Structure 1
Amino acid sequence: MDSNNMVIENIANPNELERLFREDPKAFKKAFAHAFEQTPDSPVLAVWYERLHFKEAANTEKDFFLQKDFLLMGILAILAGISTRIIFHFVEQQAIAPVNLAFGVLPFIAVYFVYKNQPKKYVLYCLAVLFLISGIYLNMLPLEYTDSIILAYLHLPVFLWALVGLAFTGNEYGKDSMRLAYLKFNLNFFVLYAGMAISGMLLAAITMQLFSFIGLNIEEFYFSNIVLFGAAAIAVVTAYVVSRNLKLAKNIAPYIAKIFSPLVLATLLAYLIAVIWLEKNPFLDRNFLIAFNGILLGVLVVTIFSITESGSDEKKNISDYINFALIVLALIIDSVALSAIVFRLSSYGITPNRLAVLGVNIVIWANLIWIMLSYLRFLRNKTGPSTIQDAVTKYLPVYGIWAAFVIFAFPIIFN
């Protein structure tokens, strides 16, 4: 967004002003400051000034714990904890697969977003049907750990993550700005959840130590009930906190992204140098190829989150060059991995694992190419940063489609 004139250009378009504010509040405020200096007598800008600088009275927070969305969050958190504990019971009895634990958390987060966004009926029905079908289909599969079924289990969280994204975006699921907001939500969610989880682990350690002093060993009970319940419930609470735009997670996430990007780049360079020095060969070493793909996924995640937290400022900075270097390295890794997978397919034949790894590498490779080309144009001053974010957001459904294909097609094809 042009901080000099974008607000002024749309001063007669309230819908566009609202969209710009929701898309990037920080950039909007910077643009508004310039606009208000130029036209302080504008009644439209006067209203926006009051909105941006309004201080709520202290007594408005007294009813915070009685707000509907807070009460709903509390109910959903309790239901998530109970559901997860029930599912875990059947997992312990080996009646269902452990991946079913995802159904103890993600549907409840989706329900909260549905309540918050009030999507149209066809979006609501689509969510309900897809959650139901995936749960039924997953548990109709034989409880056997064959390659195709394991792949279906591994891809289920990705598919459910895409469904939660649909609930998050609601009626605006086709808008890139909403997909970008969902990516930002994920980064803030994981940062805040990690902090809560560490606090929970410290509390668990202290609690068990205190009970051990009086001769009671509560470790098994505590982890099977309290910790499991808490882990599921806190996930819903974290989703609520982040979606409310509370400052705790919102202020930390950009710094986490900026700190980790150079660290990952340095680590990756050192690792690749060591790989070449020790003459490791992903074409022959299966475990090394798996590790190579794990590194690729990690780099992709760090890069995407760094891009989503970069905002829409037109100015380039060192983080952009670090991200570009990370993408180039990731492309090198992915190209080597693709070559190794094709070699193993031609040499040893087709298996579910090899085909799945080939597919996901092709999906990631195409996305990395798109992001790299967008970044290259941005660094050469031919486009703005929004084209980079488009390369991320417009491609997101492809990951969900691939995950759905592996979940529903692989067990049928290979069994």
Structure 2
Amino acid sequence: MEINNSIIENIDNPHELERIYRKDPKAFKNSFLQAWEQNPDSQVLGVWFERLHFKEVANTEKSSKIQKDFIFMGILAIMAGIFTRIIFHFVEQEVIAPINLAFGIIPFIATYFIYKNTPKKSVIYSLVALFLISGVYLNMLPLNDKDSIILAYLHIPIFLWILLGLAFTGNEYSKGSSRLAYIKFNLEYGILYASMAVSGMVLAALTMQLFSFIGLDIEDFYFSNVVLFGASSLAIVAAYLVSMNLKLAKNITPYIAKIFSPLVLVTLLVYLIAVIWLGKNPFLDRNFLIAFNGILLGVLVVTIFSITESDSDEKKNISDYINFALIVLALIIDSVALSAIVFRLSSYGITPNRLAVLGVNILIWANLILIMFSYMRFLQNKSGPSTIQDSVTKYLPVYGLWAACVIFTFPLIFN
């Protein structure tokens, strides 16, 4: 009643009405209708009525949409768990390759993205066709340990990741901003999924320990059914949570990017000094060359995520100089690795592994060159951060094309 009187007394004082509302929105809302009934001709109260009433309608519509999204996500999560378990059964029977487990998860995440984005039919048909072709082709390959077959298995996740990006971007697949959003989604998704997976592992360990106290060993059954089902279903749930703009992942990713960049730079510098000091030679040591390429990929990933987490209107700061230094170091590493690979090709001949490593190193080298020149222009105030981000996003399909080349041609060429 007191607030009702205050509303009427300040009916011609919008500033005071706003103050009363902000002090206790719930009480204001409860008392407002009575004041509105007593003063139906007040334009000020009329605006307030529309404000409060419109908010209720908007919230109702939003709540209904969230509920539908949640139900659809739940159905996809259950289906992903069931399909993954079925695929795992055939993997256990050694009928199909273990990499088929990816088809129990990624197509369902793609389906959720299609549901959210509603892309054109041509995009949907292309995705369905590419998923089917890659799945059928993968299972037509012989189950053996030949290098070309293993390379095809290793490149399938990259190819499917690009297809997932197409589902995520929908009709805007050619826009740099949409591709940038997809890269950010991956970082947020990884953090969120890892957090939930750790909780799941703790629950699994506790459950198996409790059953062991009563003399039951459920480890095999629990992993094959509960853990596998849960891990695949959780992948869909995590995609749903990230797409709902969960603040936990969004707030932490920029800090992770800024913290890890200098740590990686220092670690890499110390490592390279140690390599030179100990006289390690990637030209002759195959395992060391593999490690060198692993470092290169790690630096590339950290650099890309650092770049994508920068705001498009942000001015240059210390993080940009750290990223530029990382790119230069990565280029040095890649140049050495390329020289070593060419040396091994000329000395020992062409093999699927050497050719695949050569191809991916050339792609990374070209990508790093583009990013480096974009960064140089940015640091010289000749362009903005968006130019750097474009040099990252526009190059993504190239990796997908290379993965497709390895998957669909290497097993035929090196049969």
Is the TM-score greater than 0.5? Answer: yes
SS in 2 for 1:67: helix
Asked if 1:86 is matched to 2:122, the reply is no
Q: Please state whether the residue corresponding to 2:143 is helix, strand or coil.
A: coil
CA deviation profile, 1:288-330 (whole Å, cap 9, x unmatched): 1011101111111111011100111341111111111111111
Please list, as runs of the form range in 1=range in 2, the aligned pairs for 1:181-220 lying within 5 A after superposition: 181-220=181-220
**In structure 1, how many angstroms separate the alpha carbons of the residues matched to 2:395 and 2:66?**
40
1:398 matched residue in structure 2: 398
Identity, % of aligned pairs?
A: 81
Q: For residue 5 of structure 2, what is the aligned residue in structure 1?
A: none
Q: 1:306 to 1:56 in 2, by over 3 A?
A: farther
1:124-135 aligned within 5 A: 124-135=124-135
Instruction: For residues 131-168 of structure 1, give each alpha carbon's deviation from its aligned partner in whole angstroms, at most 9, with x where no partner exists.
Output: 00000000000011100010000000000000000000
Alpha-carbon RMSD across the aligned residues, in angstroms, is 1.9
Q: Which amino acid aligns with 2:131?
A: F
**1:30 maps to which residue?**
none
Deviation at 1:221, TM superposition (A): 1.1
1:269 match? 269
Deviation, structure 1 residue 81? 0.8
- Cα displacement string for residues 81-126 of structure 1 (whole angstroms, at most 9, x for unaligned residues): 1111111111111100010010010000000001111111110100
| Residue number in structure 1 paired with 2:235 | 235
Aligned to 2:74: 74
- Aligned AA (2:301): V
- Report the CA distance shift for 1:318/1:221 in structure 2 as closer, same or farther (over 3 A): same
TM-aligned CA deviation for residue 248 of structure 1: 1.6
- Normalised to the residue count of structure 2, the TM-score between the two structures is 0.85
Alignment CA distance shift 1:63-1:383 (3 Å): closer
Equivalent residue letter for 1:293: N
2:313 corresponds to which letter in structure 1? D
Deviation at 1:174, TM superposition (A): 0.5
TM-score, normalization: structure 1? 0.85
- Residue by residue over 1:182-212, the C-alpha shift from the partner in whole angstroms, topping out at 9 and shown as x without a partner, is 0000010001111111111111111111111
Partner residue, 1:361 = 361
Matches within 5 A, 1:5-404: 60=60, 67-404=67-404
Distance 2:304 2:59 in 1: 40
Task: Give, in whole Å, the separation in 2 of the partners of 1:143 and 1:67.
Answer: 44
Q: Which amino acid aligns with 2:75?
A: I
1:68/1:357 CA distance change after superposition, 3 Å? same
Structure 2 counterpart of 1:29: none
Whether the 8 Å contact between 1:65 and 1:71 is mirrored in structure 2 is: no
1:408 offset after TM fit, Å?
Answer: 0.3
- Deviation readout 1:248-274 (Å, 9 max, x if unpaired): 211111111111111111111111111
- Tell me: CA distance 1:55–1:257, structure 2 relative to 1, closer, same or farther (3 Å): farther
CA distance in 2, matches of 1:61, 1:250: 25
SS of residue paired to 1:284 = coil
Q: Distance in 1 between matches of 2:375 and 2:214?
A: 61
Distance 1:214 1:64, change over 3 A: farther
**Aligned-partner Cα distance in 1 for 2:118–2:304:** 28
Q: Over alpha carbons, which structure has the higher Rg? A: 2
Deviation at 1:57, TM superposition (A): 9.1
CA distance in 1, matches of 2:61, 2:362: 50
SS of residue paired to 2:316: coil
Cα–Cα, structure 1 residues 407 and 376, in superposed 2: closer, same or farther, change >3 Å? same
Question: Structure 2: which 5+ runs fail to align?
Answer: 1-49
CA contact (8 A) 1:64 1:70 kept: no
Letter in 1 for 2:228: L
